[in-house]
Amino acid sequence: MRIYDISQEIFSGAIFKGDPVPAAIPLSRIKEGSPYNLSSVSMCLHSATHIDAPSHYVEEGTTVDRIPLEYCIGPCMVLTADGPIDEGFLSPLLGRGAKRLLFKGKGWLTLKAAKALAESEIVLVGTESQTVGHGHQIDEVHRILLEHELVILEGLVLKDVPEGNYYLASLPLKFGGMEGSPCRAVLLDYLPGSD
């Protein structure tokens, strides 16, 4: 079995324009006489690799601690997409059993693609970009997906992952009442007879 770590490192990872830069604050240090190292972290919940919960764009939407975990774990498909991902790109993929789609490259969802996903069996959509939308459509693409309870996984690192089928594990931290969370996302490429 091969494990692909498809997560950004938090402190050096990408942030969305205008979001605060993650910072580590030392509270205790061994080199300063403490028996242990202890730190706190200040960051936006949407930095680096992260999950958007429905409440990110839906006032009474599901918060990140209440997302069904089975949406974040399970078989997925990795596809290359550079530029707009439209409904024509998606239509051959829908209704074929894949419930989680990860887009490798600089692709983004159009409004029609977001609507097609919202009406499908898809439960999670992921992108290497810090946002699944583009330009003036960012908010509406998010709203369409999140109103239909899709999980959005953004800020992935897929450059070393070949296109194909994998097993995804991308659990958010259990931040009660919050609209998003960083996560450590991995893909498992399981070959029969391997461990």
Catalytic residues: 56
Q: How many CB atoms lie within 10 A of CB 100?
A: 24
The encoded tokens of residue 129 equal 């970009």
128's CB contacts (< 8 A; 6+ apart) are 103, 104, 105, 106, 155, 156, 157, 158, 159
Helix (H, G, I), strand (E, B) or coil at 38: strand
10 Å CB burial of residue 41 (0-12, 13-18, 19+) is exposed
- Distance CA(70)–CA(76), nearest Å, equals 12
Q: Compute the C-alpha angle 17/173/70, nearest 5°.
A: 110
The encoded tokens of residue 151 equal 């999980």
Q: Are 175 and 44 in contact (CB under 8 A)?
A: no
- Distance CA(76)–CA(159), nearest Å, equals 16
